[in-house]
Each structure stands twice: as structure tokens, then as C-alpha cells.
Amino acid sequence: MPSLQPMRLPARSLPLAAAFFAAALAGVPAASQDYPVKPVRVVVPFSAGGAHDVILRILAPSLAESLGQQVIVENRAGGASTIGMEHVAKSKPDGYTLGVANVSLAVNPFLFSKLPYDTERDFAPVGMVARVGYVLMVHPSVPARSVQELIALGRARPGQLNYASAGNATGGHMGMAYFLHLTGVKMVHVPFGTGARPVISVVSGETTIYMGTIPPALGFFRSGKLIPLAVSSAQRHPLLPQVPTIAESGLPGFEVGEWSSIVVPAGTPRAAIDRAQQSIAKAVALSEVKERMASVGAVSAASTPEELGAHIKGELAKWKKVVETAGIRVNE
């Protein structure tokens, strides 16, 4: 299991120029007007059954209909998504290999001393697919019923509170690290190996705080075995409309969570990128796709390639600071 250790960032700097990903989008040969003429693969760099796999399998039939070709979802898990993303980066840039990029794409450059690809140079953004917000929850024994009360409690008891995660450098861990970074609160991190264990650990009282996806915790919220304090998204979540956002609870601008997007190998023709993006946007706008995504806690989303590139650039800047301040590093 990865561990939390002091770290030094790689010597290379991370330029956050306004032209992020521009080289990947400009000056490439035009794609055939007939694209696509064969099945399109979507590489999910995570195991089957995980959030991103489920989201892409919800999307795939509608995307296939929009593209007019079969869409094959292929899982290549391992290495905190680096195995699958390396495969995407090194695939032929012809529009027939798409990759699912999430928050790990923006976090990994600062967790690993060396990656098998260059995050900025080896991918071209296509478009956003969905966002999956987190909820900050506590065991009923925790004497806090709001974000501000939790912050005050944490400051009064530095290092005495603990929080669970599905593992070091997972989305929930990074979300809590960002929360602690902004508030200056010190808590003990308790990493588990699977997504289900953190929720169970908080329900049982083994740990007391968790920031994770909403669906696994809904039943416990209804029974009172877990208390939702706030959601991490920019807007309130439709599954928990009465629960405020962390941003409106005293931390303006706070927004973390999972996001599923599509990228392709750098050098992919712009015409193929545009065709894929338009098909994705059409698919995620369908009411049945929105409803199925909502059932698993996701909110369908769409963006232009440039908007996704700007989003990734912002995520890189955010997580660079958080990883450096928290001293997070994975074992390699």
C-alpha cells in the first residue's frame, strides 16, 4: 500500500502557459472527412466496476450511435492510472484510441519522480464527460454538524482527529489534503485499500471522518449512522439538495471531486478531435444518459477541447501546491 512520506518535487518546473496543450491541437494534418471508419477504443486506466468505468459504459452506447461506429471500453488498470495513460500516450494518434483522464492526470506529476509520459506534451484534450462530487461526512460521535464546527474542532485538537480514505493519493485523500491545506487543520490519515472500506470504517467508528462519493453513503445518511456536513462540488448535489457546499460553508472557491474526461495522443488530427468532442457532447446531453449518471452520483458534463485544457491546467496548479504542502508521495 502506498505510504505518506516527505517528498521533493522533481527538478523540472511546470510551465502553466496560456497555450497549454496548444501544440497538441494546432498544426496537425487534417483527418479524413469519413472519420471514424472503424471501431473506437476508450481506454479506462482503472479497474472494471469503478466510477470511471461505470460512467464510460453508461456513455458508450450513445457515443457509438453518435459516432456511427462501435465503441469498445478497455480497462488497463494499475500504477494510479499511469499504466493506462502510458498506453494512450504511445498509441497511434489517429483518433481511434481515446483515454479517460481524471484528477490523477493532474496529481501524478507531483507524486511520482518519473512518469512514462509527459502530462503536458503527450496528450491532447477532447472534452469533459462527467463530474462526481464528494461529500464530507462524519460519525455521529464527532461533535460537529457544520464545516466551521469541524474546523474549530480540528484546531482545538490538532492531530487527534482521523480521516479515512480508499488509499494514499486517491481522490478522497487528495480532497481532504486540500481541505486541510486551506484550513491549516492537522488530522491523521488512515488509508484503506478499497473504496468500500472507508465508509464502513466511519460507520463502525473505527475512523471518524471521510470525504468520498455520495451513493455508497446515502443509506447511512438516511439512517443517521453518518452525518453529511457539506459537498465538495461548486453547486449542491441533486442527491443531497439540503446539504450545503464546502464553499458556501466558509471556504469560498473550494471545489474538488472526480471528473471524467477524454484525451487522445498528442498529434491526433484536429478534425478527429472535433468529431469526437461533438459526439461526446451530444451523448452526455441525452436525458437517459443524464439519468443513469445521476443514479451513480455523477453529473454529466461537456466542454470544448480548449475548456478541458484550461481545466487540466488549473488542476495541475492546484495539486502541485497541495502535494508540496502535504508532503504526499507514493512508493515506486
Q: Is the pLDDT of residue 12 over 70?
A: no
Considering its fold, how many domains does the chain have in total? 2
Q: Is the pLDDT of residue 13 over 90?
A: no
What's the confidence (pLDDT) of residue 260?
94
* Claim to verify: residue 235 and residue 139 sit in the same structural domain: yes
Single residue among 249, 277, 299 that ends a domain in this structure = 249
Query: Helix 305-326 crosses helix 103-111 at what angle (to 10 degrees)?
Result: 40
* Claim to verify: residue 92 and residue 241 sit in the same structural domain: no
* Claim to verify: residue 119 and residue 145 sit in the same structural domain: no
**6 occurs within a structural domain:** no
pLDDT tens readout for residues 97-131: 999 999 899 999 998 989 999 999 999 999 999 99
CATH of the domain at 138: 3.40.190.10
Give the residue-averaged pLDDT of 302-312: 97
Q: Is the pLDDT of residue 196 over 50?
A: yes
Contact 35, 95 (CB under 8 A): yes
**59 occurs within a structural domain:** yes
Burial class of residue 204 in the structure, from the number of CB atoms within 10 Å of its CB (0-12 exposed, 13-18 middle, 19+ buried) = exposed
* Claim to verify: residue 47 and residue 150 sit in the same structural domain: no
Give the residue-averaged pLDDT of 13-33: 46
* Claim to verify: residue 64 and residue 80 sit in the same structural domain: yes
DSSP E strand stretches across the chain: 40-44, 71-75, 97-101, 123-138, 162-165, 188-191, 209-213, 227-231, 257-265, 298-300
- Residues composing the chain: 332
Burial class of residue 241 in the structure, from the number of CB atoms within 10 Å of its CB (0-12 exposed, 13-18 middle, 19+ buried) = exposed
Single residue among 249, 279, 306 that ends a domain in this structure = 249
* Claim to verify: residue 124 and residue 42 sit in the same structural domain: yes
Q: What pTM, to 2 d.p., does this model score?
A: 0.80
* Claim to verify: residue 204 and residue 244 sit in the same structural domain: yes
What's the confidence (pLDDT) of residue 154?
97
SS3 of residue 162 by DSSP:
strand
* Claim to verify: residue 153 and residue 113 sit in the same structural domain: no
**12 occurs within a structural domain:** no
Give the residue-averaged pLDDT of 194-207: 89
How many CB atoms sit inside 10 A of residue 315's CB? 18
What's the confidence (pLDDT) of residue 33?
65
* Claim to verify: residue 117 and residue 167 sit in the same structural domain: no
Single residue among 221, 249, 277 that ends a domain in this structure = 249
Q: What percent of the chain has pLDDT over 90?
A: 67
Give the residue numbers spanning the domain of 316.
37-132+257-326
pLDDT tens readout for residues 251-285: 999 988 889 999 999 999 999 999 999 999 999 99
* Claim to verify: residue 128 and residue 141 sit in the same structural domain: no
**19 occurs within a structural domain:** no
Q: Is the pLDDT of residue 307 over 60?
A: yes
* CA distance readout (Å), 229 to 210, 219, 255, 299, 306: 10, 15, 15, 20, 34
* Claim to verify: residue 239 and residue 148 sit in the same structural domain: yes
Burial class of residue 17 in the structure, from the number of CB atoms within 10 Å of its CB (0-12 exposed, 13-18 middle, 19+ buried) = exposed
Per-residue DSSP letter, 40: E
**156 occurs within a structural domain:** yes
Q: Is the pLDDT of residue 5 over 70?
A: no
Q: Which one has a higher pLDDT value, 195 or 92?
A: 92
**30 occurs within a structural domain:** no
* Claim to verify: residue 224 and residue 267 sit in the same structural domain: no
Task: Provide the CA 58 distance to its chain's centre, in angstroms.
Answer: 17
**15 occurs within a structural domain:** no
Contact 184, 155 (CB under 8 A): yes
What's the confidence (pLDDT) of residue 261?
98
**331 occurs within a structural domain:** no
Give the residue-averaged pLDDT of 187-205: 88
pLDDT tens readout for residues 129-187: 999 889 999 999 999 999 999 999 999 999 999 999 988 777 888 899 999 999 999 99
